[in-house]
Amino acid sequence: MNKKIIFSVVVSVVLIYFLMSMISLEDLRDSVLKLSLPYVLLALGFYLLSYIFRSLRFLVFLKNDMSFRDIFPIVCIHNVMNYLIPARLGELSYFYLLKRKKIEFGKSVASFAVVRFFDLLVVSIIFFVSLIFMKNVPESFNGIVPIVAVLVGLLLIFILISPLLYRYFSSKLNSKRLFVKKLKEIYDALLVIKSKSVLFSLFLFSVLIWFSLYSLMYVLLLDLGIQFSLWQAIIVISFPLIISALPINGIGGYGTTEVAWLIPFLAFGLSKEIAIANGFVIHTFQFALVLLFGLVGYLLYKFKK
């Protein structure tokens, strides 16, 4: 078994055992019973929107090769694979599914790299702005502000200098070796982002995706009776979203995600029992949605095939 998978699973098991030892089943039951149908349906709606916007964002690259009906099931399957396969190795499912649709290697890699870049950019900007506008920032967060500011700055600089990087490296990619040819495919596919309208579309869809995901989490926080200001809620929600992108998650992201909820919950004054129980409930609800959309995506994929 892959060492990354073994490490991720071990980390998850240890963290789950540690967290569950600090709460009771009654704490979990009380949190679950707080969920109400109207809020659950609203959260489901926001999650559906995030999948729609993800599909439209991929089509910025793939619109000449695929339709929305083609890419939507792939987005659903790709996302559930990311949850089920530890250490982010589920990302590979995206390339496999596009290859089966006869999409060029360069386009699949370029589209994936660019959307992940914009995910990082948008979440970093949201997190940074929230830290600036939030009143009474916990002292434990003070060191985060300059780190996020530097990250946002570096990402913006990369966008500005990327045309220069392309012109420099494209002149070097004339070798007939397979590796260099594949690299040139990726660079050629990236040419699409030279257009300002394409860059705007990618940024806009990224903002809409993360607006949907933040709204989903915020609705669940409200339903669980957790009263935060808007800026506090954004900070709290950002932690599990950022942690989920790291290659340390076990099956379903359990353990690491709950710790990512626990840290900001404790910083804003929640008891550890409420923090851990609510973290498990929110995560499990989202995981159930991922499985649901994964099943829908699989059925659509097989039916269309």
**Predicted model pTM:** 0.87
When pLDDT is averaged across residues 280-295 and rounded to a whole number, the result is: 95
Asked whether the predicted pLDDT for residue 160 surpasses 90, the reply is no
When pLDDT is averaged across residues 141-168 and rounded to a whole number, the result is: 67
When pLDDT is averaged across residues 150-178 and rounded to a whole number, the result is: 64
Residue 292 φ then ψ, to 5°: -60, -50
* pLDDT range class, residue 287, cuts 50, 70, 90: very high
User: Tens of pLDDT along 206-254?
Assistant: 999 999 999 999 999 999 999 898 899 999 999 888 877 777 777 788 8
DSSP-H helix ranges across the chain: 3-20, 25-33, 37-62, 68-84, 92-100, 105-133, 144-170, 178-189, 196-223, 230-243, 256-267, 272-304
Q: For residue 182, what pLDDT is reported?
A: 61
228 touches 268 (CB < 8 A):
yes
Q: For residue 104, what pLDDT is reported?
A: 85
Tell me how many degrees the CA angle 101-104-109 measures, rounded to the nearest 5: 105
* pLDDT range class, residue 202, cuts 50, 70, 90: very high
Q: For residue 143, what pLDDT is reported?
A: 66
Distance between CA atoms of 58 and 64, rounded to whole angstroms? 11
Asked whether the predicted pLDDT for residue 146 surpasses 80, the reply is no
User: Tens of pLDDT along 71-85?
Assistant: 999 999 999 998 888
The mean pLDDT of the chain is 85
User: Tens of pLDDT along 88-122?
Assistant: 888 889 999 999 988 888 888 888 888 888 898 89
Cβ count within 10 A of residue 98 = 25
- Return the top range by mean pLDDT from 142-151, 260-269, 279-288: 279-288
206 touches 57 (CB < 8 A):
yes
Q: For residue 191, what pLDDT is reported?
A: 67
Asked whether the predicted pLDDT for residue 178 surpasses 60, the reply is no
Distance between CA atoms of 218 and 227, rounded to whole angstroms? 10
Of 151, 7, 185, the residue nearest 89 (C-alpha): 7
Calculate what percentage of the chain has a pLDDT beyond 90.
43
Structure token digits, residue 61: 């690259």
